[in-house]
Chains A and B, each alone.
Chain A
């Protein structure tokens, strides 16, 4: 009896299978289209950002040339305005560069491989000597456990977190940063702890969003894109990112990635 039933075509079941296949195809197509749209948008953002730098460079250089080459003919008050033009151009240029970094982190091809965090940290310190200066107390519990990641994306994420750890510290306090790793099953969690201003519990979600700032730019410079770059880099490496913090008592940011063997 059962055998007979299985041989007989079941139109409902066939219809269901067809519908399922249709649905899968539609979802796949829509995901592909969405992905393409995101890529196009990011590529558009990249070219806009890139093209914006040229006129900015022109503005800055002419203002500078007037200030330098015609210093004797320009009244001091006007010179101070030229300095303001240059300052604004520098600020905008720095924001544009961050947008370019963001789109590069978003679009660049990743090469996931075992990576030595000790090496990445020493490379970052070479490139950003202010992190390694006597004005900053940086303690790394070496060796850090290797992870699986992309060298560029991880360097970008790690260095942005270190830069923030130094930046968001009250002027009268000496920045103290601690870096360590912890094995969590198949993963490694990289911690970066600072003694900075901390983040209130209800602001902790906001900080990873694009252009969000909790502090006025006059107190702490920046575009509000640094942590979004970290988030994007970590997401693309299939990792996790988090923060533990209390206002006024410093923050501990962490990145979790698959553990690597070197």
Chain B
């Protein structure tokens, strides 16, 4: 069963935002995708600050798709922030970067990224990535309870949002 929690796409390039959206549509991904266009907004979203204070509207995502070259805060620093907060430690983070710089890849895995993907040249390959994300991360993979929409909030530092109140 597909986890219904939203996906957070951290990407400043509008074209790349569009390409991933198109790939997700082609793959049939129905999760809400929230887009933020800099590293600070990604942290604001996750910590429910500023424009993202409403947890009903902006619930904890099950998956973060993270670019590296981001305005304000670099993607690797966003990743460090995520992994240094116990309530987000187990969120699945997939980097989608424009280049596989050896140092970046190694650092990302050292910090604790779950997967490192490189933005492809062609739209067909992008659609393929959309399908892979759906089949592996959203369908085959088990998420931790941090992004379980009806999961037990008590032991966690944050209260998981209740998307389906009354169910």
A residues whose Cβ falls under 8 Å from a Cβ of B:
50, 53-54, 56-58, 60-62, 64-65, 68, 86, 89-90, 93, 100, 104, 108
B102 part of interface (Cβ distance < 8 Å): yes
Q: Is the CB of A90 within 8 A of B121?
A: yes
Interchain CA distance A100-B118 in the complex, whole Å: 15
Give the residues in chain B near A64, CB-CB below 8 Å.
122-124
Query: Which of the listed residues A61, A64, A68 has the most CB atoms from chain B within 10 Å of its own CB?
Result: A61
CB B134 to nearest CB in A, in angstroms, measures 19
Minimum Cβ distance to chain B for residue A48 (Å): 12
Contact between B102 and A108, CB atoms less than 8 A apart: yes
- A-side interface mostly: helix
Are A57 and B119 CB-contacts (below 8 A) given A64-B124, A65-B22?
Answer: yes
Residues of A within 8 A of B15 (CB): 58, 61-62
B98 at the interface (CB under 8 A from A): yes
Docked pose: A104 CA to B104 CA in angstroms: 14
Contact present for A57 and B22 (CB under 8 Å): no
The answer to whether B121 and A89 touch across the interface, beta carbons within 8 angstroms, is: yes
Interface status of B19 (Cβ within 8 A of chain A):
yes
A56 touches B123 (CB 8 A): no
B13 at the interface (CB under 8 A from A): yes
Residues in B neighbouring A89, C-beta threshold 8 A: 121
| B102 lies within 8 A of A68 (CB) | no
Interface residues of B in 113-133 (CB under 8 A from A): 119-124, 126
Chain A residues, CB < 8 A from B121: 53, 56-57, 60-61, 89-90, 93
Top 4 A-B residue pairs of the complex, sorted by shortest distance between their CB atoms? A64-B123, A61-B123, A58-B15, A93-B121
Contacts of B19 in A (CB 8 A): 61
Is B99 in contact with chain A by the CB < 8 A criterion? yes
Contact A65 B123, beta carbon cutoff 8 Å: yes
The CA-CA distance from A142 to B101 in the complex, in Å, is 34
* Chain A residues, Cβ within 8 Å of B98: 50, 53-54, 57
The docked-state distance in angstroms from the alpha carbon of A50 to that of B21 is: 24
A62 and B19 alpha carbons, distance in the complex (Å): 9
Contacts of B120 in A (CB 8 A): 57
7 cross-chain CB contacts under 8 A: A50-B98, A53-B98, A54-B13, A64-B123, A65-B22, A65-B123, A68-B123
Closest-CB distance, B117 to chain A (whole angstroms): 13
| A86/B99 contact (C-beta < 8 A), A58-B15, A65-B22 known | no
Chain A residue numbers with a CB within 8 Å of B99 are 50, 53, 100
Which of A50, A53, A60, A104 interacts with B122 by CB under 8 Å? A60
A72 to B16, CA, bound (A): 25
Most buried by B among A54, A100, A104: A54
Contact of A86 among B22, B102, B119, B122 (CB under 8 A): B122
Chain A hits for B16, CB < 8 A = 58
CA distance A86 to B121 in the complex (A): 10
Q: Which of B56-110 contact A (CB under 8 A)?
A: 98-99, 101-102
List of B residues within 8 angstroms of A53 by Cβ: 98-99, 121
CB distance from B7 to the nearest CB of A (A): 20
What is the CA–CA distance of A160 and B22 in the complex, to the nearest angstrom?
36
For B102, list chain A residues within 8 Å (CB).
104, 108
- Considering residues B13, B119, B123, B124, which has the most beta carbons from chain A within 10 angstroms of its beta carbon? B123
- Minimum distance in angstroms from A249 CB to a CB of chain B: 38
Quote the shortest CB–CB distance from A98 to chain B (angstroms). 14
- Give chain A nearest CB distance to B97 CB in angstroms: 10
